[in-house]
């Protein structure tokens, strides 16, 4: 038998003297490498039969989808599935043992992509068929109505009857003439009150101290715009984001100056890591939102009454709070009222309503900085910064028309603290609905928005 000749081992040097690592320019200028893991525990291998496909969202340049085909099973992963940014930034390195030089490139998206198995020929999307739960909904409703009629109080039975009569169905309105009469009566009532429904809804939303918004908007970017929320005279002040841009690349400047000297809140500095393209339209908007958010957090952390030192005005107060003078003056005009103390000094105080308005502006600005989609990790970081119960933050976000979902816990977080009582939520504003469903406006998303009744004339 002839022995097969063993391949000669590569002639690597016995010692490798490492040189300073260099960043790959190709990855910095384009799409970086992707690192994936298989959630099912089954690894399809690393042979040449594996075929990856990469897709990019043209509307969201930082959103990518990976597809791996293996026999009749496809593994699908997306960078949009990550619940907030990772706790650290991942990078992939390539070491040349001959020269001792290592080149590295940051992982695209900053997080590891979770690959989910998908069997061929199976539809994982909405099928359009009613489930067993939906088919039995009418039966449960009828059963509950019988229970109310049999055992319910008089008040509960009257409420159930009024609800059924208020529904516009064939049994309630039997002819088109009745519909016309109903619409004409509503129109005459609107003319008599000299107010339209839209105007009344705007007044009702204004009573809640919500940031400036557009109730007719069908997208998040038009519902709450940063340029409409920033007070007059402060827009120019938040255009200067040079220090934040520098902090993205210069970590020593970020930690030793901005963070150590408390010039910028830590929450804002931690968000800079996810802005990979600060000069793009989306990146510039998020940087301006972070600049405005830094000033709001600085004010929120102060007492409700600010007293500048004697013979010193807003300029000295701005230096103390690390806020630009023009920006601080605009915020004081919006969220505070000036009064004279007994010593004849100026003091700026905010009432309970102004405190709520400041908090709502802060929360919405934080959501804009996340491109209107806040993950569970970031919600927890915001809750720790504001020192508020998570249920209160959820309530305020819902008041502004946001959609709140329970965020999936990260596997690493679950392993580190499996019994952690901290709730994590995902906050979104006007997310895209299912195909074929009617678009939702902000007025539809704000809960319990009712037209206030006109007082009766005596």
pLDDT at 186 over 90: no
Judge whether residue 383 has pLDDT over 90: yes
As for how many domains the chain has, the answer is: 2
Instruction: Please give the Cα distance from 146 to 167 (Å, whole number).
Output: 19
Boundary (domain end) residue, out of 57, 90, 119: 119
The answer to whether residues 424 and 297 belong to one domain is yes
Residue 310 belongs to what domain range?
Answer: 220-445
Q: Check pLDDT > 60 for residue 131.
A: no
Instruction: Dig out the tokens for 428 from the structure.
Output: 């979104």
Backbone angles phi, psi at 205, to 5 degrees: -70, -35
Q: Residue 367: which residues within 8 A CB-CB, separation 6 or more?
A: 224, 374, 397, 402, 427, 429
For the stretch 196-210, pLDDT in tens is: 555 555 555 555 678
Give the strands of the sheet with 64-70, arranged side by side: 36-38, 113-119, 73-78, 64-70, 51-56
Q: Same structural domain for residues 230 and 97?
A: no
Domain stop point among 56, 84, 119: 119
Supply 435's token pair: 């195909």
CA separation (Å) from 150 to 154, 157, 164? 11, 9, 17
Asked, for residue 375, whether it belongs to a domain, the answer is yes
Residue 191 lies in a domain: no
The yes-or-no verdict on residue 70 having pLDDT over 70 is: yes
Structure tokens at 74: 């496809």
Q: What share of the chain is helix, strand, coil (3-state, %, to 5)?
A: 45, 15, 45
Element housing 248 (H / E): helix 242-249
Map residue 275 onto helix, strand or coil.
coil
pLDDT in tens, 276-307: 888 888 899 999 999 999 999 999 999 888 88
The gap between the terminal CA atoms of the chain, to the nearest Å, is: 115
Q: pLDDT: is 443 or 107 the higher one?
A: 443
Flag whether 14 is in a domain.
Answer: no
Sign of CA dihedral 144, 150, 156, 157: positive
With pLDDT > 70 as the criterion, what percentage of the chain qualifies?
69
Domain boundary among 119, 149, 168: 119
- Any domain includes 299: yes
The packing angle between helices 352-369 and 281-300, to 10°, is 150
Residue 201 is assigned to a structural domain of this protein: no
Checking if the pLDDT of 75 tops 80, the result is: yes
Residue 30 lies in a domain: yes
Look at residue 359 and tell me whether its pLDDT is greater than 90: yes
Q: Which residue has the higher pLDDT, 74 or 189?
A: 74
Do residues 401 and 446 lie in contact, with contact meaning Cβ atoms separated by under 8 Å?
A: yes
Residue 204 falls inside a structural domain: no
* Domain contains 186: no
Q: Are residues 110 and 230 in the same domain?
A: no
- Confidence grade of residue 381 (pLDDT, cut at 50, 70, 90): very high
Q: Are residues 235 and 91 in the same domain?
A: no
């Amino acid at each position: 038998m002839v022995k097969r000749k063993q391949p000669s081992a590569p002639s690597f040097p016995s010692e490798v003297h490492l040189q300073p690592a260099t960043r790959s320019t190709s990855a910095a200028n384009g799409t970086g490498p992707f690192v994936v893991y298989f959630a099912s525990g089954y690894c399809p291998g690393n042979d040449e039969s594996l075929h990856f496909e990469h897709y990019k969202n043209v509307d969201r340049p930082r959103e990518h989808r990976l597809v791996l085909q293996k026999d009749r099973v496809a593994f699908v992963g997306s960078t949009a599935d990550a619940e907030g940014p990772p706790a650290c930034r991942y990078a992939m390195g390539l070491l040349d043992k001959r020269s001792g030089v290592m080149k590295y490139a940051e992982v695209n998206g900053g997080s590891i992509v979770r690959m989910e198995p998908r069997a061929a020929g199976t539809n994982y999307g909405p099928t359009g068929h009613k489930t067993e739960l939906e088919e039995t909904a009418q039966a449960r409703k009828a059963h509950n109505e019988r229970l109310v009629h049999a055992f319910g109080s008089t008040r509960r039975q009257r409420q159930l009857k009024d609800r059924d009569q208020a529904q516009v169905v064939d049994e309630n309105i039997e002819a088109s003439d009745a519909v016309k009469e109903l619409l004409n009566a509503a129109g005459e009532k609107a003319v008599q009150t000299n107010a339209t429904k839209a105007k009344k809804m705007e007044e009702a939303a204004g009573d809640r101290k919500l940031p400036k918004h557009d109730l007719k908007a069908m997208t998040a970017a038009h519902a709450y715009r940063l340029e409409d929320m920033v007070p007059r005279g402060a827009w120019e002040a938040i255009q200067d984001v040079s220090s934040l841009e520098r902090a993205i690349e210069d970590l020593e400047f970020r930690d030793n100056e901005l963070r150590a000297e408390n010039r910028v809140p830590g929450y804002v500095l931690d968000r800079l890591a996810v802005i990979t393209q600060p000069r793009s339209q989306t990146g510039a908007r998020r940087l301006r939102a972070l600049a405005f958010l830094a000033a709001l957090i600085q004010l929120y952390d102060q007492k409700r009454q600010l007293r500048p030192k004697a013979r010193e005005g807003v300029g000295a107060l701005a230096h103390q709070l690390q806020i630009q003078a023009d920006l601080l003056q605009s915020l004081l005009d919006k969220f505070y009222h000036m009064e004279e103390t007994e010593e004849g000094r100026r003091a700026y105080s905010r009432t309970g309503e102004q405190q709520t308005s400041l908090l709502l502006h802060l929360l919405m600005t934080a959501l804009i900085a996340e491109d209107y989609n806040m993950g569970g990790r970031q919600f927890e970081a915001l809750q720790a910064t504001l020192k508020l119960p998570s249920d209160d933050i959820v309530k305020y976000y819902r008041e502004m028309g946001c959609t709140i979902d329970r965020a999936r816990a990260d596997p690493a977080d679950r392993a580190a603290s499996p019994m952690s009582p901290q709730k994590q939520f995902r906050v979104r504003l006007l997310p895209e609905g299912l195909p074929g469903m009617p678009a939702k406006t902000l007025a539809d998303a704000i809960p319990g928005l009712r037209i206030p009744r006109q007082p009766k004339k005596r």
